[in-house]
Chains A and B, each alone.
Chain A
Amino acid sequence: MSVSHLVKFCYTLLLGSVLFLTNGCATTKPTDEVATMDRFETANRASYNFTDSLDRNIIKPAAEAYADVTPKPVRTAVTNFFNNLTYLNVILNDFLQGKWDQGLQDSLRFLYNSTAGIGGLFDVSTAIDMPANNEDFGQTLAVWGVDRGSYLFIPFFGPNTVRDTTDFVPSTLLNPLFYASGLVLLPVTALNAVNTRANLLEASNLRDEAAIDPYVFTREAFLQQREYLVYDGNPPASEFDDIFLEEDENMLIIE
C-alpha cells in the first residue's frame, strides 16, 4: 500500500469515527422529530448551498455537455463499468446481512460481468435474470438494528446519515480503483463523477421543478429512499400510514 493510499484510508477512517463520535456525544434531548433527524441543520444547509452552487456553475454544465456528446450506449457502458467496480462491496454486504442466496448470485453476477461483460462494460447478467442488487454497509448496520443517526449533507458527496457514512470504509477498500496509481486515478475518478452526475440530471431537474425548499426536499426524499432500500423495496406498509395517526386521533376527539 503506497503512502497516498494510506493517507486516503486514514482520512476515511477518521471521517467515519469523527462522525460516529459526534453522533454518540450528542445526548441532548431533542425537542421534535426534525431536530433529532437533522441535528446539524445549520452546517448541513451551508454545505448544501456550497455544493449546490458548485454544481450549478461547474459540475452540472459539465455533466450536460458530457451527456450531449456521449452516445447512450457509451454512457451505459461507463455506468456499467463503475457499477461493476463497486460490486464487491454489494457482495460483502449481502453476506453480512445473511442474504446467502443473493450473495452467491451477486458473486456470479460480478464474475460473469467482469469476464463475459468485458471488464464490466456490458451488464450481461441482467439479461440472464441476475439483476443488480443495492446493498451497502449503511444498510447492513440498519439490518443489524443500528439507528441511522442524524442526517448529514457532505460537501461534494451530497446527502448521507451518520450511520451510512461508515460505508466509506468498505466501499473504498473493496473498490479496485483504490489500488490503482494516481496517474490513472484522476481522469477515471473525474469520468465517474461526471457520468454519475449525468445519470442524475433527470432526478435533479425533477427536484428543481417539484421542490419549494430544495434542501428539505432532498433530505426527505433521501431519507425515505434509504429506508426503502433497507427493506429491499418492501417497507412495512404501516410506515406510510403513520402520517394519518394524528388525524385518526382528531376524529376520535370529534366522535
Chain B
Amino acid sequence: MHISGSIRQYLVKTILSSMLLLAFQQAVAADTAISAPVDKLHSVLLENMKQAGEQDFAGRYDSLEPVVAANFDTPLISKVILGRYWRELDEQTQQDFINLFRELTVATYANRFDSYGGHHFNTVAVEDLRKERHLVKTELQAAGEKPVSLDYIVQNSEDGWKIISVIANGVNDLSLKRAEYGTVIKDKGFDSLVEDIRKQIDSLKPG
C-alpha cells in the first residue's frame, strides 16, 4: 500500500512536470517562431557587419535581398504607408511600388549596417498585440555603448511570420514614412514620390 502510494505520487509528479515542461517548450517554440523573421534578419546583418572589410555594398545588398524578400511583408507595408492613396493606384503601379520599396529597404540595411564594433543583438521580450500581431523587442548593443532599442511588429501570414513594422528607439518607421510620403503625394504627386525614392536609393549606394 505504502509502495504503490509513492509510485502513484511519483507518477503524478512526473506527468505533471512533463506537462509543464511541454507547455513551456510549446510557449518557447511559439515565441521562437514569432521572432524567427527578426532572428534571420539580425543574423545576416551581423554577418555583414563582421565582414565589413571584405564585403562591399553590392555584396551586402545581395546577401540581404532574399532575407528581406522572405521575412518582410512588403506588400502590406506599402499598403499601410500609402494609406488612402493605395486604392487610387492600378495593380501594376502597386506592384512596382512594392518592388521599389523593397529595394529601398534592402539598400538602407546594406548602407547602415556596414561596420563592426563588437555588436550583438538581444531579444528582450515578445508581447501580444491585436489580431495575429506581436511586438518583438530587441536591442542592438555595441561594445561599451548604450544599447539601441529595435522593436519589430510581426504578423502571421499565409507563408509564415513576417515583419510588418520596425521601431528604432521609439521611432516607428512606418508612421514616419506614411506621414512623409503622404505629404509628398499631396504636394507634388505620386510620380514625384517614386522619383524621390529612386534618388534616395541611388544616394544609399556608394560612389
**Chain B binding surface SS class:** helix
Beta-carbon contact of B172 and A224 below 8 Å: yes
A241 neighbours in B (Cβ, 8 Å): 129-130, 133, 135, 153
**Shortest Cβ distance from residue B183 to the other chain A in the assembled complex, whole angstroms:** 5
Interface residues on B, range: 35 or more
Tally of A interface residues using CB under 8 Å = 27
B196 neighbours in A (Cβ, 8 Å): 212
Question: Within 8 Å of chain B (Cβ to Cβ): is A101?
Answer: no
Q: How far is the CA of A217 from the CA of B108 in the complex (A)?
A: 16
Beta-carbon contact of A225 and B169 below 8 Å: yes
Within 8 A of B (CB), among A210-234: 210-213, 216-217, 219-221, 224-225, 227-229, 233
A219-255 Cβ-contact flags toward B at 8 Å (1 or 0): 1110011011100010101101101101110000000
Question: Within 8 Å of chain B (Cβ to Cβ): is A68?
Answer: no
**Shortest Cβ distance from residue A37 to the other chain B in the assembled complex, whole angstroms:** 9
Beta-carbon contact of A237 and B170 below 8 Å: no
Beta-carbon contact of B164 and A244 below 8 Å: yes
Beta-carbon contact of A235 and B80 below 8 Å: no
Question: Within 8 Å of chain B (Cβ to Cβ): is A34?
Answer: yes
Beta-carbon contact of A244 and B172 below 8 Å: no
Known: A220-B179, A220-B180. A209 touches B172 (CB 8 A): no
The total of Cβ contacts below 8 Å across the A-B interface reads: 83
A216 neighbours in B (Cβ, 8 Å): 179-180, 183
From A212, A225, A235, A247, name the one whose CB has the most chain B CB atoms within 10 angstroms: A212
Beta-carbon contact of B169 and A210 below 8 Å: no
Question: Within 8 Å of chain A (Cβ to Cβ): is B74?
Answer: no
Known: A233-B149, A243-B165. A209 touches B203 (CB 8 A): yes
Q: How far is the CA of A237 from the CA of B130 in the complex (A)?
A: 10
Beta-carbon contact of B135 and A248 below 8 Å: no
Q: How far is the CA of A209 from the CA of B110 in the complex (A)?
A: 13
Beta-carbon contact of B180 and A225 below 8 Å: no
B176 neighbours in A (Cβ, 8 Å): 217, 220-221, 224
Q: How far is the CA of A241 from the CA of B193 in the complex (A)?
A: 25
Query: Which chain B residue shows the least CB distance to A212?
Result: B196
Q: How far is the CA of A229 from the CA of B171 in the complex (A)?
A: 11
Question: Within 8 Å of chain A (Cβ to Cβ): is B76?
Answer: yes
B72-86 Cβ-contact flags toward A at 8 Å (1 or 0): 000010011001000
A211 neighbours in B (Cβ, 8 Å): 180
**Chain A binding surface SS class:** helix
**Shortest Cβ distance from residue B49 to the other chain A in the assembled complex, whole angstroms:** 17
Within 8 A of A (CB), among B122-175: 127, 129-131, 133, 135, 149, 151, 153, 164-165, 167, 169-172, 174-175
Query: Which chain B residue shows the least CB distance to A126?
Result: B146
B105-116 Cβ-contact flags toward A at 8 Å (1 or 0): 000100100000
Beta-carbon contact of B178 and A243 below 8 Å: yes
Set A213, A219, A233, A238: member contacting B184, Cβ < 8 A:
A213
From B76, B172, B204, name the one whose CB has the most chain A CB atoms within 10 angstroms: B172
From B108, B133, B175, name the one whose CB has the most chain A CB atoms within 10 angstroms: B175
Q: How far is the CA of A219 from the CA of B182 in the complex (A)?
A: 14
Known: A237-B129, A243-B165, A244-B133. A212 touches B174 (CB 8 A): no
Beta-carbon contact of B164 and A212 below 8 Å: no
Beta-carbon contact of A228 and B169 below 8 Å: yes
Question: Within 8 Å of chain A (Cβ to Cβ): is B197?
Answer: yes
Set A212, A213, A235, A248: member contacting B130, Cβ < 8 A:
A248
A233 neighbours in B (Cβ, 8 Å): 149, 170
Query: Which chain A residue shows the least CB distance to B79?
Result: A247
Question: Within 8 Å of chain A (Cβ to Cβ): is B200?
Answer: yes
Query: Which chain A residue shows the least CB distance to B165?
Result: A240
Set B108, B149, B153, B180: member contacting A212, Cβ < 8 A:
B180
29 A-B pairs (CB sep. < 8 Å): A209-B200, A209-B204, A210-B108, A212-B181, A213-B183, A217-B180, A220-B171, A220-B175, A220-B176, A220-B180, A224-B170, A224-B171, A224-B175, A225-B170, A228-B171, A229-B170, A233-B149, A237-B127, A238-B130, A240-B165, A240-B167, A240-B172, A241-B130, A243-B80, A243-B178, A244-B80, A244-B164, A246-B83, A248-B131
